[in-house]
Structure formats: structure tokens, C-alpha cells
A and B are shown apart, each in its own frame.
Chain A
Amino acid sequence: MYFNSKGKEEVTYDAIVIGSGMSGGWAAKELSEKGMKTLVLERGRDLKHGQYPTANLDKWDVPNAGRLSEEEMKDYQKQGRTGYTVTQFTKDLWVKDPEHPYSETKRFDWIRGYHVGGRSLLWGRQSYRWSEIDFTANAKEGIAVDWPIRYADIEPWYDYVESYIGISGEALGLKQLPDSKFQPAMELNCIEKHTQEKIAKAYNDRILTVGRVAHITKQGGHNGRGTCQYRNRCVRGCPHGAYFSANASTLPAAEKTGNMTMRTHSVVHSIIYDDKTQKATGVRVIDAQTMETHEFYAKVIFLNASALNSAWVLMNSTSERFPTGMGNDSGELGHNVMDHHFQVGARAEHEGFQDMYYKGRRPNGIYVPRFRNIDKATRQKNYLRGYGYQGGGGRQAWWRPAEAAKYGAAFKTELAQPGNWTMSLHGFGECLPYHENKMTLDNSKKDKWGLPTINMDVEWKTNEREMRKDMKISAAEMLEAAGMKNVKEFENPCFPGLGIHEMGTARMGRDPKTSVLNRWNQIHAVKNVFVTDGACMTSAGNQNPSLTYMALTARAANYAVEQVKKDNL
């Protein structure tokens, strides 16, 4: 493929950011605000804050009360594996699988949407800090490689991003789950409060709190974003900008500086390497619509295309120096794929609190922070690391079986009232880094741009399976302690990828022989390329990771600009 011929634009910037989502938006903002002329390359279409056509629609405004037909689902065979994300309200926000194929040696559910803002528009907004326990786990247990940073390195950057975006939650002072800079916490409902009290009575090392979410709950600051209106329509895009998305927050900030250029429909082919300077000089791009090829140049490159796509770019950036992909001296590029395993826990019913209900649709649930393997007293025999619970309570709606009558007036009357309270605990567990869990590039299966597609070969192993046994039992225990009835453990099929937290493909580490990135997220061997999305993760933790990606990005961008000013890059 020739890039140095017809149709070429030669444009030079101070920085290029590949990807405009959760972490790319932060790179764009930080670099632009610090005076760098920044080109943002997004492979998908433009999507400006407010362009949310389904945000205010009701079920009767769309076909089939929101469900897709079997025929329509043919475009979403893999995206549809979540069972809930692809609806009439959101179908334009998920990739059409036939257009973006990938292969699976073992089943891997790669769930994403390609548009400006990426999954920062679609995410669950759950936001939890890592602790020192997470950063030191690999070293303490002799697993994979040590993180080259500690909590103290990232702490000020958690403060920084949280103050900017707004995180609502309750401070608990737990060592395994440091508190964020919090907006007012959302309320728990009756059954959740009841469960919280009972768990506190029954256990001295378990706590139930409300979820920590990237929603603004108190007006003031946050660049004019609105407060949460408790509509729970977030996934369609929020007209109020009340939850964090790149679209509502970081990208407008970047744009405001006048230093950002956004180029959409730009599929990055590779990063250009200059052997003489041992630096990257720019990026090769294929226009997704016209198929024209372009090159763009910059002093600094931030790679934020999401874990698998960032690794793909590096793997496709081959040269004499890097025959197996840029920065792959260690052989770890594409390896150590991790995700969070979930779909396991327990649920139950309660016949009390019949005269109580709630008002508003809270876009958030409960959280039980990790209580396993956090010290000697909580060490587990059968597995390492830990898990948290999400979930929540509510009253059953009309879809439940009626008890008073099978049809008729009494049937309608009963179902038009709320049913019994239910409570559920859904575990989210950490996955260890295994070298053999990997992605590779398949040159025998090309996509419509002539680019090799990704093959996924990832599986859960013994540590994950043993942990899941405990996740089920411990959830049921807590619901029993809360005096619930019909306590039922559950475990549904859960394959890597379904957590939508895929990570690990270009890990950070101290040693270039065993890692791709250094303590500043720079590629060891190509210091002007920074990777700050999920690809950089050396271990997975059990916490939802996006907040950590944002903090790492802000920290790396700050460092990158300092280095540019010192003429080091």
C-alpha cells in the first residue's frame, strides 16, 4: 500500500491523538489546553454533544417497544451477545459486525461503537479508584511483571480528573478502594438500605454502598454540564451532559482552545518510524469513506484507539527495527489480554416494605467493595485477587406473573401496581494476566480497507473459576443475612470481552525486555509514542477501569508536554 503518492496531504502538528473516546478525549483536552496543535484521528463518524436523536423517545415512539427483529439482529450477531445493549434506541451506536469482523479461536465478545466519543457515550459510568493493593499485586505474588507506578503516582491525577468530570459517591475510607473527590451520593432505596444495615451487622469486613458514578449530582463548575435528571436513558447520549462523555466534556474543552483539529472517518494504518532518530514521525491514515491514503506528522503521538485497536496499530507498524510491531522488543505486544468476569452472584425477594416505593429512575446501582485477599485475615486458599459486587434492588413490574387472577380486571389491577421487592448482587472479578491470552493479526482475513483483522484467543482459567465459586456463595450469604426469601445463586455464560473492559495488550513495566511501555506510558523504545488506554494495563484489578485510563492519560500528557518543552522528544 503506497502512502507517498497521489491524494496525499502533508500536514504537521505538535501532537496526534489516535482515538477520540474515553482516554483519547482526555489526551486531546490536555494537549490542546497546554498549547499543542493537536490532530485527533477518529475512525468513525462525527457525533457532537446534543446529537442524540433517541434521547427523549419513549417505547411507543420506536418500533416493537425497542426490541430489534431477528432480521435486524443479523447485523449485530456479536454486539448482541450482551443481551441488552442493542435496542431500537441505540442500534446506530454499536458497530455492525459484518463491517468490522474479527475472528475467535476462543469465544471473545468484542463490544464497541465507532463514532466520536466511542464508548464514553455508551459506558456504565461506574468509576472506582485503584489502590496500592492493586498496583503491588503482581510483584507480591510473582505474577506477570510489576507495575512501574504506585498509587502515589496516580493519586493526584485521580484528584485532577475527578474534580473535572464529577464523580458521585459515598466516602468510606477503605484501603482497598480509595475515596474519590465526591459529588453528593445518590440515594439507596428501601431494600438496599435494609440490605446495607443487615450486611453491616453480620460482617465486619463487608460494606454495601451506592455505586460511584461519573454523574454530576450538584450544580456548579463542570463547564456548564447539567445535573443528572434521573431518566436512566444515558446510553443514548444525555442532552444535559450530566454523565461524563468525551462528547459532553473533554472534546468541547479541547475544541475551545482552538488547538484541536478533529478528523473523522480516519482509520489509522500504522505509525511511521524513523530509524535515525529512533522516534515516530507521524501516522498513516486511510480515509474510511474515500479509501484515500494520507500521512500526518507530529512530535508526539498518543495512541488511544482502545486496547485491541491500539495494539493492532502497533502490530501493523512494522519496520526493520520492529519486525513484529512497533515497540515489541519484549514479545508482549498483543499478549496478556484481560477483562472482568461477571454474570455470577445471587438474587432474592422480600415481602416487606409493601407501602414503600421510589421516585425517579436512578442510573446507578449498589456497590460492595472487594473484601477478599486484601490482607492476611482475608486471604483465600483457592484464588488470588478479588471482586466487587454491583446490582441493586427494586420492585417487580408488570412482567411478573400475577397471583390474584389469570386474566381480567383483577389481573390488570394487580399488574398495574408494583410487585414484591427484589435484590440482586452481581460480582465483577479480576482476571490474571496470562501471556497465552492473546490477540494476533490475521492477514488471511482482511477487512474492507484491506487491513488484517484481529483474532482473539483468550480464556478464563483456574483462578477465575475458583473466584467465581466464592462470588456466588458470598452473594447468597449476604442476601440470607438480610433476611431475604427465595435466595438463588446464579451463573450465566460469561466469556472474555463481555465485561467490555478488555485490556492488557501493550503493558507497562520496568523492563523493556518484558513490557511495552514505561512508567510514563511511553513505548520503551519509541519515547514519543504514548499509549494510555486499556492496552497499557499490567494487571486488571476488579474496579471498572475507565477512571484509571483518564488519570493515566492526564498524567502522561502532562509529562509529554514537559518533555517537549525540555526538547527531549
Chain B
Amino acid sequence: MGSSALMFGCKTDAGDGWKPAFLDTDQVNLIAELAETIIPKTDTPGAKDALVHRFIDSQLAGYMTKEDKTSFVEGLQGIDELSKSIGGKGFVDADEGLRTQVMDALVKDADDHYAAKKQGPPTFDALVGLVKNAFFNSEVAAKEVMRYDPSPGEYIGCYPLEKVGALWSE
């Protein structure tokens, strides 16, 4: 129960025998790198530390509709192709500069999507939504990025933010 922060290079975790239930290895690496680009490790843990890729894989395996699964896989593929078309490399092998170009292109694509009033969320928003949800619901984020207080014991209605320092995890 619970998961520990991990410190394995730029590829996804190993060592505890985790295997994806839905994605293949390349897809796992891709989503892990995308998630880390969206929510990077700074002085606090990032998406890889929080095992966002594992959570998203388990969602795909059992908690998403067929349509959403298909959208997601197509979206992943599209991002990899976008990276290749901009800089000749897939996203996992791209350097920081190329990754930034890819992300910015996705942001622009999202703006165009809304301007054209297209149906459904654009790839970027769908991706960010999944990553945010997986990250901020994780144990790592609750305990090391936000403030975790399982049994507060009291309710103080007006409490200085500086005494807390970050969002409470719910």
C-alpha cells in the first residue's frame, strides 16, 4: 500500500516489478516523459516521482471508456509524430529545446481547436487533465508537494497561509 518516491534515470521505474496493464513499454516511457514535462521535479517531486504514468496506465486498463482510451492512444501517437516532424526525434529522445517546441505547438493547437469550436477537449487539455489528476491525487504529491494532515483535530477558520505554505491535500 502506498508508493515510495523513485530515483531512476530518465526512463521509467524498475525494481519493484511493476508492469503496465494497458500501455506498451514505449508508451509508458512516452507518457512518463510528457507528464514530467508538464509537472517536472523542481525542489519538490515531479510526475515521475509520483508515478503518474502508473496511475494513467491503470486508468486506461480499467477506468476509461473505449472512446477515451482510443483518443488517448491516438493522442500519444500524434505527439510523438509531432516531435519527429518538428525536430526529427521522438519525444522520449528529444532534448529540452525540442520538447518545449512540441509542448508549445500542442498549446497552440488547443487554442486553434477552441477558436474553431471543435467538439471535445483538445489533446493538450485532455493530457494535462489526466496528468494533474494523477499527480495531485498521489501520495507523493500529498505529502511532499502539498500539506498532508490526516487527522487535523481542530478547525481554525482564519489561519495564515504562511503557516501552511502550500495547498492542503484533501
A: which residues have CB within 8 A of B?
56, 58-61, 63-65, 67, 69-71, 186-190, 192-193, 229-231, 354-362, 397-399, 406-409, 411-413, 415-418
Contacts and interface: CB of A to CB of B under 8 A. Distances in A.
Contact of B58 (A58, A64, A399): A64
Nearest to B162: A355
Interface of B: 1-3, 37-40, 42, 44, 46, 55, 58-59, 62-65, 103, 107, 124, 128, 132-134, 136-139, 142, 145-146, 149-164, 166-168, 170
Contacts, number: 142
Contacts of A58: 139, 142, 150
B133 A360 contact: no
A186 B156 CA distance: 9
A354 B3 contact: no
Tell me the interface secondary structure of chain A in the complex: loop
B1 to A, nearest CB: 6
Contact of A230 (B134, B154, B164): B154
B42 A412 contact: yes
A358 B158 contact: yes
Given A65-B137, A231-B152, A415-B136, A193 B158 contact: yes
A60 B161 contact: no
Contacts of B163: 357, 359
Contact of A356 (B37, B103, B158): B158
A359 B152 contact: yes
A44 to B, nearest CB: 28
B146 A359 contact: no
A60 B128 contact: no
Contacts of A360: 149, 152-156
Contact of A397 (B139, B157, B167): B167
Contacts of B107: 406-407
Nearest to B145: A416
Given A64-B58, A416-B166, A356 B160 contact: yes
A97 B155 CA distance: 37
Contacts of B46: 412
Contacts of B3: 60
Contacts of B164: 357, 359
Contacts of A397: 136, 167, 170
B114 to A, nearest CB: 13
16 contacts: A60-B142, A65-B133, A71-B62, A187-B156, A187-B157, A188-B157, A229-B151, A355-B162, A358-B157, A407-B103, A408-B37, A412-B44, A415-B132, A416-B44, A416-B145, A417-B166
B40 A61 contact: no
Contact of B167 (A65, A355, A406, A416): A416
